Structure 1
Amino acid sequence: MAAAYALIATDLDGTLLRGDDTVSDRSLAALARAARAGARHLVVTGRPAPRVRPLLARLGCTGLAVCGQGAQVYDVGSGRLLWSVRLHRELAEEALGKIEAEVGQVYAAVDQDGVDGLTLIEPGYRMPHPTLPSVRVDRRDDLWRRPISKVLLRHAALSDDELASVARAVVGSLATVTMSGPGTVELQPCGVTKATGLALAAERLGVGARRALAFGDMPNDIPMFDWAGHGVAMAGAHPELKAVADEITMSNEDDGVAVVLERLFPTG
C-alpha cells in the first residue's frame, strides 16, 4: 500500500498544524518515516511564501512548497519563487465593488507578490491568524502599493459560507473565490487553485497525480483532492470537503495526518 504514494501533500492550518501553529513530534516522525520509504512531502498552503518560511524551516523542508492558494511555487532551498501569478489591481477592485454592491461594506487585506511581500490590512480588517505578521494601512488605496497575489475578505455580519457564496455568484471570471479557514474568504487569480500549484510542483518532482496523497480541512482543498489520487479530510473539516474526501481521519489536534501515514508507511 505504501508504495502507491510517492507524494504527500499537506495543507497547514487545521491539518498538519495544531491550533498553536506547531507540528507534533508524532507528525514529524510519521513524515520522516514516509520520507525514508521514498515519499516526498509537499506543503500546499494558502499562506504566501514570506509568511510560511519560518514554518518550513521548522519542518526541515528544503525542496518545493506550494503557497498562496496555488499561486506560488516556492523553492525553499534557493529562497526563490519558481512560479507565481498576480491578481491585477483593476480586477481586484472591480470584484470588491461587485461584492460590496450586494452585501455592503467588506474589510479587505492583501498578500503582496514576491518572496518579501507583506500582508497589508485596511482599517476594520481583523487578521484571522493573530500570529501572522501584517501591516495596517490608512485606506484601501494603500493596499495596491505593490503587485498582489490575492485579496482576503471579511464581513461584519455574514458568515464565511455566506460571504463566499455571494462572492462566487457576482465575481464571475474576475477572480477565483476560495474559503480557506475561519474568517478567510479570498480572491485570487482566475483559474488558480491549490491544484494548479500542486500539479506544477509534482511535475517538477516527476510524480503523477495517482501517486499523490493529499490532506486538508477546508473548501480550498477540494481542487487538490480532485487532482490527487487519494484525499484525506480531517475530522473537523468543512462539510464540503468531507463530501468529496476518500477518507476522514482524526483531527489536527489528534495527529490525524500521522494516523494515516503510520498505517500506509508501517516501516521505514
Structure 2
Amino acid sequence: MDPIPAYALIATDLDGTLLRGDDTVSDRSLAALARVARAGARHLVVTGRPAPRVRPLLADLGSTGLAVCGQGAQVYNAGTGRLLWSVRLDRELAETALGKIEAEVGQVYAAVDQDGVDGLMLIEPGYRMPHPTLPAVRVGRRDDLWCEPISKVLLRHATLSDDALAAVARAAVGSLATVTMSGPGTVELQPSGVTKATGLALAADRLGIGAERALAFGDMPNDIPMFHWAGRGVAMADAHPELKAVADEITVSNEDDGVAVVLEGLFPTD
C-alpha cells in the first residue's frame, strides 16, 4: 500500500496565490499540483470568487472535485456542476449594513454576487471593478442590486484605504455580517460567521480529512481563518502583513510560483 502523504489536503487561494497576475496558472504550478494528485492528496481551491467565476479556472485545472467559493459561502462540486452547500446574505440586512457604514464614512460604492451556479455580479453606478477580467453587469441604481438572492456585497470608497474601510465596516456592522478584505479594492460583507474556514471544514469533512493534515496557501486577511483551521499555513512573499503574522511559513510570490516551490519540496517526483 502506498504511504499516506503527510498533507492529504492542499487548500489554495486563487488571486495573488495560485494565479499569476494575468489570471493564469503556470506550467510549474500545474506540474506541482499533478505531483500532489499522484501522491494521493487532494487539491481544493478556496477562493473569494463565487462559483460562476471559478468554473472556467477549475476546468483549466482539470478539477472534477470540490471547491470552496464565495469566501466560504459555497461548496461547489466541479464534477456535477452543482452547489453542495450555499449560504445567502439577507438582502434587507445587507442594506442595513451599508447604511451603517455610510453613516460613518459617507458614500460607498457597492456590488453584489448573486447566489447560485449561474449568479451574476451586479455593480452600482460609481463602483470600479478591482479585477477587470471578471464579468459584471452594471445596474442603474442601488435598489437593483437586490433583485435576486445574493451571497455577498463588495464595497469600495473613493478615498479610504482598504484597511481603513474594513476597520470601519467591522465596527459599524458588528454581528450583522462578516467583513473581509480579499484583495486590493475588495472589502466584502458576507453572511455572519461564514469564512473560508467554515467552507473548507465542510469540504474536508466530506473528504474525510482532518484539519491537521491540511496545508493552506494564501495572501490576504480573508485567508486568516483558513490558516487558523489548517495544520499549516503558507503566506506568499507579498502577502498582507496581517496574514504573514499568523503564517507558519512564507514562500516566494505568486509570480515566482510560490505554491509550486513549497509543493515540490513536500511531494518529490516519482
Aligned residues of 2:4 and 2:40 also touching (Cα < 8 A): no
Aligned residues of 2:166 and 2:179 also touching (Cα < 8 A): yes
- Consecutive unaligned residues of structure 2, counting only runs of 5 or more, are none
Separation of aligned partners in 2, 1:62 and 1:234: 26
2:62 to 60, 76, 80: 60
> Is structure 2 residue 164 aligned with structure 1 residue 162?
yes
Separation of aligned partners in 1, 2:17 and 2:91: 31
Aligned residues of 1:2 and 1:265 also touching (Cα < 8 A): no
> Is structure 2 residue 109 aligned with structure 1 residue 112?
no
Q: Aligned Cα RMSD in Å?
A: 0.9
Separation of aligned partners in 1, 2:245 and 2:25: 26
Partner residue in 2 for 1:49: 51
Separation of aligned partners in 2, 1:247 and 1:49: 29
Give 2:219's aligned amino acid.
D
1:245 to 241, 244, 247: 247
Aligned residues of 1:160 and 1:185 also touching (Cα < 8 A): yes
Runs of 4 or more consecutive aligned structure 1 residues displaced over 4 Å after TM superposition: none
1:152 to 132, 151, 154: 154
1:215 to 214, 217, 220: 217
> Is structure 2 residue 156 aligned with structure 1 residue 125?
no
Where 1:94 maps in the other structure, the secondary structure is helix
> Is structure 2 residue 14 aligned with structure 1 residue 12?
yes
1:82 to 81, 84, 90: 84
Aligned residues of 1:99 and 1:171 also touching (Cα < 8 A): yes
Separation of aligned partners in 1, 2:47 and 2:76: 11
Give 1:202's aligned amino acid.
A
Aligned residues of 1:72 and 1:84 also touching (Cα < 8 A): yes
Give 1:71's aligned amino acid.
A
User: C-alpha displacement at 1:191, in angstroms?
Assistant: 0.2
Give 1:129's aligned amino acid.
H
Where 1:172 maps in the other structure, the secondary structure is helix
TM-score w.r.t. the length of structure 2 is: 0.98
Give 1:181's aligned amino acid.
G
Aligned residues of 2:111 and 2:123 also touching (Cα < 8 A): yes
Aligned residues of 1:2 and 1:264 also touching (Cα < 8 A): no
Residue-by-residue CA offset, 1:56-102 (whole Å, 9 max, x unaligned): 10011100000000000000011100000000011101100000000
Where 1:149 maps in the other structure, the secondary structure is strand
Residue-by-residue CA offset, 1:189-224 (whole Å, 9 max, x unaligned): 000000010000000011000000000000000000
2:26 to 24, 27, 34: 24
Give 1:17's aligned amino acid.
L
User: C-alpha displacement at 1:267, in angstroms?
Assistant: 2.7
User: C-alpha displacement at 1:3, in angstroms?
Assistant: 2.0
Aligned identity (percent) is 89
Residue-by-residue CA offset, 1:206-252 (whole Å, 9 max, x unaligned): 10000000000000000000000000000000000000000000000
- Consecutive unaligned residues of structure 1, counting only runs of 5 or more, are none
Partner residue in 2 for 1:91: 93
Partner residue in 1 for 2:145: 143
Where 1:3 maps in the other structure, the secondary structure is coil
> Is structure 2 residue 193 aligned with structure 1 residue 184?
no
Separation of aligned partners in 2, 1:72 and 1:107: 24
Give 2:250's aligned amino acid.
I
Separation of aligned partners in 1, 2:192 and 2:93: 10
User: C-alpha displacement at 1:2, in angstroms?
Assistant: 8.3
Separation of aligned partners in 2, 1:160 and 1:59: 31
Residue-by-residue CA offset, 1:31-62 (whole Å, 9 max, x unaligned): 10111011100000000000110011001110
Q: In structure 2, do the counterparts of structure 1 residues 2 and 181 end up closer, same or farther at CA, with 3 Å as the change threshold?
A: farther
Where 2:67 maps in the other structure, the secondary structure is strand
Separation of aligned partners in 2, 1:2 and 1:78: 27
